[in-house]
Amino acid sequence: MPAETPATESVDAVVIGMGPGGEAVATELARAGLAVVGVEGRLLGGECPYYACVPTKMMVRAAETLAEARRVGTLAGSAQVHTDWAPVAKRIRDEATDNWDDKVAVERFESAGGTFVRGWGRITGPGQVRVDTADGPRDFRALRAIVLNPGTAPSVPPIEGLADTPYWTNREAVTTTEAPESLIVLGGGPVGAEFAQIFSRFGAEVTMVVRSRLLPRAEPEAADLLAKVFAEESISVRTGVEATRIDHDGSYFTVRLSNGDPIRAQRLLVAAGRYTDLSALGVGAIGLDEQAHGIRVDDRLRAAEGVWAIGDVTGHGAFTHMSMYQARIAAADILGSLTEPAQYHAVPNVIFTEPEVGAVGMTESQARDAGLSVWTGRAEVPDSTRGWIHGPGNAGFVKLVADADRGILVGATSVGPVGGEVLSALAVAVHARVPVTTLREMIYAYPTFHRAIEAALADLG
Q: Which residues are registered as beta bridge partners of 401?
A: 376, 411
In this predicted structure, the answer to whether residue 411 has a pLDDT above a threshold of 50 is: yes
Write out pLDDT tens, residues 415-450.
Answer: 999 999 999 999 999 999 999 999 999 999 999 999
Strand stretches in 126-224, DSSP E: 128-133, 136-148, 153-154, 182-186, 205-210
Q: Please enumerate in sequence order all residues whose Cβ is within 8 A of that of 67, keeping only pairs 6 or more positions apart, or say none.
A: 201, 354, 393
| 192 assigned ligand-binding residue | yes
Domains of the chain: 8-49+95-152+276-335 (3.50.50.60), 155-272 (3.50.50.60), 348-459 (3.30.390.30)
Band of pLDDT at residue 3, cut at 50, 70 and 90: low
Q: Which residues are registered as beta bridge partners of 377?
A: 400
| 47 assigned ligand-binding residue | no
Query: What's the rounded Cα separation, in Å, for the pair 230 and 215?
Result: 13
Write out pLDDT tens, residues 220-276.
Answer: 999 999 999 999 999 999 999 999 999 999 999 999 999 999 999 999 999 999 999
Band of pLDDT at residue 296, cut at 50, 70 and 90: very high
| 151 assigned ligand-binding residue | no
For residues 229 and 196, the answer to whether their CB atoms sit within 8 Å is no
| 273 assigned ligand-binding residue | yes
Band of pLDDT at residue 1, cut at 50, 70 and 90: very low
435 three-state secondary structure: strand
| 102 assigned ligand-binding residue | no
| 121 assigned ligand-binding residue | yes
| 367 assigned ligand-binding residue | no
Write out pLDDT tens, residues 92-114.
Answer: 999 999 999 999 999 999 999 99
Phi, psi values for residue 63, rounded to 5°? -65, -40
Query: What's the rounded Cα separation, in Å, for the pair 191 and 49?
Result: 15
| 187 assigned ligand-binding residue | yes
Residue 42 identity (one-letter amino acid): R
| 298 assigned ligand-binding residue | no
- Say what the pTM is: 0.96
Task: Count CB neighbours of 173 within 10 A.
Answer: 25
Task: Count CB neighbours of 252 within 10 A.
Answer: 15
For residues 397 and 380, the answer to whether their CB atoms sit within 8 Å is yes
| 190 assigned ligand-binding residue | yes
Mean pLDDT (whole number) for 161-169 = 98
Write out pLDDT tens, residues 217-234.
Answer: 999 999 999 999 999 999
Indicate the burial class of 7 (C-beta count within 10 angstroms; 0-12, 13-18, 19 or more). Answer: exposed
